[in-house]
Amino acid sequence: MTETRIPNRVFERAAQEAETAAQQISTPQTEHPAYKLAFQDMGFLLREDLRPVRFQLELLKPELLLDEAKIGSTMVFYGSARIPEPDNAAAVAASGSPAGASLAAKAHYYAEARKLAAIASASPRDEEGWQHFVVCSGGGPSIMEAANRGATDVGAESIGLNIVLPHEQAPNRFVTPALSFQFHYFALRKMHFLLRARAVAVFPGGFGTFDETFELLTLIQTGKIKPMPVLMFGREFWTRVIDFAALAEEGVISPADVDLITFVDTAEEAWAVVEAFYAPKV
C-alpha cells in the first residue's frame, strides 16, 4: 500500500473561518447582523435567552486555562477588601474614625495572609507536573492582594477571580496575568473558588467573606463536597461577630458542625493544620 498521510481534520478551525468571513465583500446582506457568525455576534450572545450559554462559557473558560496551566489544586483566600497592609496602617488609623482604627488594628492579618501564601506556594509539583496549593484569591485589594503578593514573593504563580462591579475594580498587580479571570456571575465565580480548593483560609471580612465562607461550610456540612481545612484567622473576631456555640445550642446546627472550622492566628499554625490533614494515615 502506498504510504499516505491522513489529515488531522477536514473542517477549518473557527479562527480561520472567522478570518475568511471578515474578508467577504460588503453587501446589504453581509452587513446585516443576521449574517454574522454566531460566535462573533455580540448582540446575539448577550440576548436574555443566551444566558445558559454564557453560564457555560464562564464555567468553561477558566477551567480550560487552569487545566492548561496544570493547576492541580488551590489554596483559597477569603477576606476583607478594606484591611490595610502594615505600612499603611498608621494612615488608616489617623483617619479618626472608630472603623479606621479597627481596620488598622487588623493590618497584621495582611502580613499573615502574605506569609501563608508564600508557604503554600512552595509546595512542589507532583510527578506529572501538576501544581498544588496554588494561591487563589478574589483578585482584589487588601487580604486578596496579600495572598497574591505572597506567591509573588517566592516566584510562584497565583490566581485571581475578579468580578464586574458597578464601581471600578481592577485586579491587584500581583495576580499572574495568564491566571487573572473576570466574572459576570457571582455563582460561577464561587464555583471556581471551590472546584480545585483543597484548603481555605478565611480572614476577617464583611458580607462577601461571610457569603463565600458559609456556602463552603454548607457544602461540607451537607456532604456535597469532601471535607477540607477551613482555617479562620482571628478567633476573637469570628466568635465576636458570629456565636457558633449559640447556633449549636439553639439546635440549628449540630455540635459537630462547629468542628468544620479551625481557628488559627498565624500562617505557620494554619499550614501545620493543612499538613496534618493531608498527612498519610498510618
What is the reported pLDDT for 77?
98
Those residues with Cβ within 8 angstroms of residue 213's Cβ, 6 or more apart along the chain or in another chain? 78, 200, 202, 230, 232
- For the chain, domain boundaries: 56-278
Task: Measure the CA–CA gap between 115 and 231, rounded to whole angstroms.
Answer: 14
Q: Are 139 and 69 in contact (CB under 8 A)?
A: no
Q: Are 189 and 163 in contact (CB under 8 A)?
A: yes
**pLDDT for 281:** 76
Band of pLDDT at residue 1, cut at 50, 70 and 90:
low
The pLDDT tens digits for 136-186 are 999 999 999 999 999 999 999 999 999 998 876 789 999 999 999 999 999
Which of helix, strand or coil describes residue 135?
strand
Give the Cα-Cα-Cα angle 152, 154, 156 (nearest 5 degrees). 60
Looking at CATH, the fold of the domain delimited by 56-278 is given as Rossmann fold (3.40.50)
User: How far is CA 259 from each of CA 228, 229, 236, 247, rounded to the nearest angstrom?
Assistant: 11, 10, 17, 13
- Does this model's pTM top 0.85? My answer is yes
pLDDT score of 221 more than 80: yes
User: Exposure pattern of 265-277 as b/e (b: 16+ CB <10 Å)?
Assistant: eebeebbebbeee
Question: Exposed (0-12), middle (13-18) or buried (19+): which is 162, by Cβ within 10 Å?
Answer: buried
Q: Within its chain, how far is the Cα of 228 from the centroid?
A: 16
